[in-house]
Amino acid sequence: MFLEIIEVFTSGLINGSVYALMAVGLTLVYGVTKAFNFAYGSFYNLGGYFAWVLLIPLGVIGGYFSVFFMAIPFFFIVGYLLEKVLISPLRKYDDWEMKVMMLTLGLSLFMDFGYQAIFGPRIKSLPGIIEGTVQVGEVVLFQQDIVIFILSLSGMLCFWWILNNTRTGMAVQAVAQNPAGAQIVGIPKDFIFAATFAISTMMVGFGGILLCQKNFVDPMGSTDIMIKAWVITAFGGMGSIRGSLYAAFILGMLEAFVGWYFGMIHVQIATLTLLLVTLAIRPRGLMGRE
Amino acid sequence: MLKINKLNTYYRESHILKDVSVSVDRGQVVIMLGPNGHGKSTLLKSICGLVEKIDGQILYDGQDITGLASDKIVNLGVTYIAENRELFPYMTVMENLKLGAYSKNARGNEKENMAWVASLFPKLMQRQNQLASTMSGGEAKMLAIARGLMSDADLLCIDEPGLGLQPSYRVEISQIIKEISRQGKTVFIVEQNIPQLIEMADKIYIMEEGGISFEGGKYDVLNNEQLKEIFLGL
């Protein structure tokens, strides 16, 4: 029993760390632009397919090392272009936040069906980053899980560092806290919006590679990820990065324990119940402001 | 230094500024007086690229800056200091000041400007790790001015710094503006709650209903009983 709980806890921790990596990106976009990117889950899948294309048909030298190395600039550019080409033209409208939601919802459908058209409707599995197990006392851990945990944690630490120690990171926070103030000190909003989309797309793409190699690439799997990311963002407090960090780990644990005790079929209901109860008691979420 | 020709601005259906022409020379302190809601703030915001629909011409150092994006204008050395402060609430005093020097033109002189700001606002420096949202109205105002100075601007457009403040803060603000001007900065200020400022003014404008209704030197205002009473409460 005790051993089992440790295993469930570890699985919650690992999933939580990847969720945190992805949800923080989505929260950042919301915090800065006040618009919600509903195509976020489809970019998660883009991560999966990106890795699949490089590893299987192309058989890239260096394996996952090359995949991550190329994924960072690739997703940065994809996110940047997403904002510049599709989002930015909408910003001249008063209700552009609503228009962005509709656009990204459409984009998400387009991408999901695009994946089916290009890669076929069947799920694809990726080779594991690393095989084998480690034994700590009586607990057996997969090396793969340890790598996922370390990579998503380092991803988050990088993000945290960039946000708090670089001029652009501080400018991103400034726009999130007070757009008018940011404009006054001369922060170019256009650049910051595009940078925010670029960073968040990079994070979700990275998370997609990590989780898809653990599970599989499912062309219709984006909805599930989108719901998770949305629940974490709302539960943690819209726009609060610290809130979504906590929320991601709570959700990871909840999933693991509910799945273990009641069965996987109850996981989605449990997470949505958690969200509804939280929002009923505390509409601004765990750490949302105002 | 700053020359505005026939500026018109619009907000939704309203025509706010109507053919406003103003000129400010380098090193001057120019004060704009006038009743509330008649367009004074809009004028300052228009200069700094913070108003969307504008028409007319704004020349800064001979360069046409009409309709330029705010970040480009800040980079040219023009800064707006907002009446409602517009600080970054969840950042510390120091982080707010550093973001004041975000613009490219300010980065090279960040250290010197920080030292200058520290000498002008010793109280802010004692609170450098405090969050901006936890400061009192007067302190926050000081921080807004200090952040504006960090931008290394030559022209400071200061919007009602004394509004809603205690008399002691108003006196402090007038001393600070004197010092800013002594450093060779040009100050274009909307303010009518600080009579001491009039003493420093090189030129005074009065704006009513979106247009300039008076332009003159400080003695023109001080010698005109009606203007004195209406706008300075003297």
Smallest Cα distance from B144 to chain A, Å: 10
Please state the ipTM of this predicted complex. Answer: 0.93
The model's pLDDT over A212-239, given as tens digits with 9 standing for 90+, comes to 999 999 999 899 899 999 899 999 998 8
Instruction: Find the length of chain A.
Output: 290
d(C-alpha B234, C-alpha B230), whole Å: 8
| Residues of A at the B interface, defined by Cβ within 8 angstroms | 167, 170-171, 173-174, 177-178, 180-188, 289
C-beta atoms of A174 and B88 within 8 A: yes
Smallest Cα distance from B209 to chain A, Å: 25
The model's pLDDT over A119-151, given as tens digits with 9 standing for 90+, comes to 999 999 999 999 899 988 888 889 999 999 999
d(C-alpha A233, C-alpha A287), whole Å: 10
**What would the two tokens of residue A129 be?**
């980053």
**What would the two tokens of residue A23 be?**
């949800």
Hey, which bits of A33-157 come out as E strands? Answer: 133-136, 139-142
Q: Where are the domains of chain A?
A: 20-221
Closest by CA position to A200, among listed A12, A33, A48, A53? A33
C-beta atoms of A184 and B69 within 8 A: no
At residue B233, the pLDDT reads: 66
C-beta atoms of A184 and B82 within 8 A: yes
At residue A197, the pLDDT reads: 95
d(C-alpha B69, C-alpha A51), whole Å: 41
The model's pLDDT over A235-290, given as tens digits with 9 standing for 90+, comes to 999 888 999 999 999 999 999 999 999 998 999 899 999 999 999 999 898 888 76
C-beta atoms of A186 and B91 within 8 A: no
Q: Select the residue of B86, B89, B151 nearest A186 (Cβ to Cβ).
A: B151
**What would the two tokens of residue B209 be?**
């209903």
Hey, which bits of chain B come out as E strands? Answer: 2-11, 14-15, 20-24, 29-33, 53-60, 63-64, 78-81, 155-159, 186-190, 203-208, 211-216
Crossing angle (nearest 10°) for helices A2-33 and A40-55: 110
Q: What is the DSSP letter of A39?
A: T
Hey, of B70, B157, B159, which one would you mutate to test binding to chain A, going by the most A CBs within 10 A of its CB? B70
Smallest Cα distance from A35 to chain B, Å: 20
Contact by Cβ (8 Å): A205, A74: yes
**Residue B62 neighbours by CB under 8 Å, 6+ apart:** none
Instruction: Find the length of chain B.
Output: 234
Burial (CB < 10 A; 0-12, 13-18, 19+), residue A101, is middle
Collect all residues of chain A within an 8 Å Cβ-Cβ radius of residue B103: 185-186
C-beta atoms of B86 and A184 within 8 A: yes
pLDDT band at A41 (very low <50, low <70, confident <90, very high): very high
Comparing alpha-carbon positions, the chain B residue that sits nearest to A165 is B95
Q: A with B: how many residue pairs have Cβ under 8 Å apart? A: 66
d(C-alpha A269, C-alpha B121), whole Å: 56
Comparing alpha-carbon positions, the chain B residue that sits nearest to A177 is B88
A113-151: burial string, b at 16+ Cβ within 10 Å, e else: eebeeebeeeebebeebeeeeeeeeeeebbebbebbbeb
Beta bridge partners of A140: A135
Percent of chain A with pLDDT over 90: 77
Average pLDDT score over chain B? 92
**What would the two tokens of residue A21 be?**
């990596």
* C-alpha distances out from residue B27 to B2, B104, B200, B201, B219, Å: 11, 23, 12, 11, 19
**CATH code of the region B2-232:** 3.40.50.300
